[in-house]
A and B are shown apart, each in its own frame.
Chain A
């Protein structure tokens, strides 16, 4: 929302944010009476039906409570931020993140669809990441933000799984529906995993042990954020979730064991640490952890009364903890430090701040007459009702320990800051800040006080209604009061206060022991784990993804071999089919021997590259002969022509490459590759054998045969297939060739500059050369051959439709005829005599091919439909014209263009490099 206002003034930012929040709060207040009276305002807009995700919002008392907290405190935080953030901070960015966060939190509170709630849930993680990292230049902010994101975002992912399972078990993603299906869910086998995953989400968000460690580091955020996120809102999302799903999830032994235990442990653990922190915000952060533990524990008890206690404590905690954070922020703001050891006796200098701070701390300590006292007593009362492992004393005792610790750290905060010897941090005479900083905490402290003095009036109806919403049952009868008579809870409470005072008195000694002890620091563990993860991942990633083509190919071949074996062996393999084999003539066997020998020789002589090329020629020749023998004249023609061009290409490249490089592979590797090659070759042989010996079934080429002449106008079925039945393939094929030409041009054109150009100029052939460039006989013969070859090419082209031949072979013949001129007379000589550039040839070829295709549309026929006719001219007689021949012209154009482009570019790259203007400068 504020994103667009990035450049607007600070006042505008604050105004908009404050107003938006205030309006939201007011709207909420206006709905509150109805909600408390039992109304259930709701709205829904479909979003992703396939997911069961819809924008479904409702406002029940629990939602009201949370949304109210979020918006109310949110407004105060905006006001506070106005005083807190200096002029040069980017308020626009800050507030837009804050508003995003606020919106997401309200969304969690109001969601009536669990999937929607997940959306908001993860959004809060994200926006808190941005807020914690707001002061991004500091390492703590960045690390804190990342850690918060990792832990809460990660928990959120578990929550996603949990919620989806829950929805699956309940048969709906509508929260209202799910809440009514507790029995079904708890009976479902999905209950346990769902619960575990959901708790993971809740506990991480609410910083429950052992996921608590991110919260203190989130304190790197600006204080308004800490006040907001880490006291009032985000961390409570976990608690909210537990409360929200109470009717479906609570009440089982598993719930109790997990939730209550985690809460209790967290309560004690957080409090104990809080006691020994020296950073004000750290003290508050750990206290928050502890307090959250308390709430979680209460919800874990799964009784309505405990739920009521939790609800009331949520209210109290929101009030006093936000106030405390703001208080700490003021102190930090005015004194320049948050180190409690460097502060003291501030009460005289900052009386208003001190008053608020002391009152809020008292609420946190659970001292009367503040609301904190009431909720703590309710808590102690509930623990007294709870037996674990048959022991009734265990839980109350531990809870009292937690309470004791909380009294101690609260008092330490209040006394350490405001009383005792005067220490003022960085500043000589700090003083109370302006109204913007004072008013919000003041209001909150007043609230905390009100919760104690007039609990039933201020909070009674809300707590009652909310508790009912949490438990999903009838509104419980609750009695919020400071005095419930002399009972065990009061005794425990008093004990806690006394114990706390005692602890504080011995604090110095204890702190020394704590400081000298060896403690496992969760953050350091987390960091170490993260670093280890990153290092390990990087190592694995680098090791796996080494830039080795050999490895890529090895895995590819191995995969294919494994898959092939899997395919062949799973079902009973039948190797040889029923088709009669064809006896081989001696000539065929000889050609086969030559092919095998040549192949073997290529492999053996691979490092003598020139020789290997000679043997490649032999293989090509053998295959051409095989095609002749096996009734494939078109293939033979093509093979012969392509072979020549390929050899020229390879020779051109070889000229500039090392000719007899050293061996690189170890014997072991060569052995491995040989084995792999033999296995792959064996597989290929077996497959080929299997298919060749099978009786051929009915094939679509029967149709091609039958329709070649009547429908395609040609007797060479292969050619008709290429230019008619499957002309579309051919179009793609010539485009491939055209692209190859273009890509080769693009590769070689710039090769004469830069490093490649230098290398080309520095390159000296190691072979001694004959001084003769253009042998006379060769030159003369090629000049005679040019028109002859062109004529043959034309002939092969024209007859292609009916006899072996066609545009492709014709173009190759043209290309070879021209290349011969290059070979004989040199690049420059030939190049200046050429008539047509390769680029236009390719372009026009493609255009002609597509144009032929489109031409048929004009006649209402599909793309690339051919037509042909027989015409009669005087003298000439009857002849055939077919659109397929135009298509074949396109083929010839592209092939000629691409082949010429590839070879011409390659053939004179060295000369071009030598002629490069900067060639002189380099020497």
Chain B
């Protein structure tokens, strides 16, 4: 097995789990789903720089073989942004639950409330 295979399949598993969970009817599961998806996305974004073992992008003269630093910078940015978004969505999910007493997002509770 190659590292590429491991990463690609891990991305796939995380995406599959993320998609499945974010399609659940309650906010917490959805948040879990988003978390899995963001792991997958970060891994993917990282992987597009190709995989490099033991060559961290720390500049040294004469070194020509190094991991692509740019995707790493992008993933860092993405991790931070994802964290902000996760935090907000978690709090919002809680806040909405506190306000309405329901953590469902399938619209069924709303329909009941409306009728």
Contacts and interface: CB of A to CB of B under 8 A. Distances in A.
User: When A and B assemble into the complex, do they touch directly, with CB atoms less than 8 Å apart?
Assistant: yes
B95 A699 contact: no
Interface of B: 1-32, 35-36, 39-40, 42-44, 46-60, 66-70, 72-73, 75-77, 79-81, 83-88, 90-95, 97-101, 103-108, 110-111
29 contacts: A546-B111, A547-B110, A592-B10, A595-B10, A596-B9, A627-B46, A629-B53, A630-B53, A631-B66, A632-B72, A646-B87, A653-B94, A654-B28, A661-B26, A664-B24, A677-B18, A678-B16, A688-B47, A691-B47, A692-B47, A704-B69, A715-B59, A718-B57, A722-B73, A726-B73, A737-B83, A748-B91, A754-B99, A899-B87
Contact of B17 (A581, A603, A803): A603
Given A581-B2, A646-B83, A705-B66, A692 B16 contact: no
Contacts of A626: 7, 10, 43
Contact of B94 (A550, A656, A725, A804): A656
A548 B94 contact: no
* Pairs of residues from A and B, 6 with the lowest C-beta to C-beta distance, nearest first: A681-B16, A685-B12, A740-B84, A581-B2, A548-B107, A756-B98
Secondary structure call for the B interface: helix
Interface in A411-449: none
Contacts of B1: 583-584, 589
B21 A602 contact: yes
Interface residues of A, number: 119
Nearest to B19: A677
Contact of B8 (A609, A634, A677, A689): A689
B17 A602 contact: yes
Contacts of A533: none
Given A677-B15, A692-B4, A756 B99 contact: yes
Nearest to B66: A705
Given A583-B3, A630-B3, A748-B91, A718 B17 contact: no
B28 A684 contact: no
Nearest to A609: B28
Given A582-B51, A635-B72, A638-B79, A646 B95 contact: no
A48 interface: no
A457 interface: no
Interface stretch (A257-265, A366-374, A728-736): A728-736
B3 A588 contact: yes
A582 B3 contact: yes
A680 interface: yes
Contacts of A730: 77
A306 B41 CA distance: 76
A680 B73 contact: no
B19 A673 contact: yes
Contacts of A600: 13, 17
Given A602-B32, A680-B15, A718 B23 contact: no
Contacts of B76: 634-635, 638, 718, 722, 808
A181 interface: no
Contact of B52 (A630, A650, A654, A721): A630
A259 to B, nearest CB: 52
A56 B10 CA distance: 68
Contacts of B57: 631, 705, 716-718
Contacts of B70: 699-701, 704, 721
B27 to A, nearest CB: 8
A106 interface: no
Contact of A740 (B50, B68, B85): B85
Interface string A222-244: 00000000000000000000000
A687 B8 CA distance: 8
B95 to A, nearest CB: 5
A634 B67 CA distance: 12
A674 B21 CA distance: 9
A518 B90 CA distance: 65
B8 A692 contact: yes
B29 A553 contact: no
B103 A657 contact: yes
Contact of B19 (A583, A680, A759): A680
Given A584-B1, A589-B6, A744-B88, A681 B98 contact: no
Contacts of B92: 747
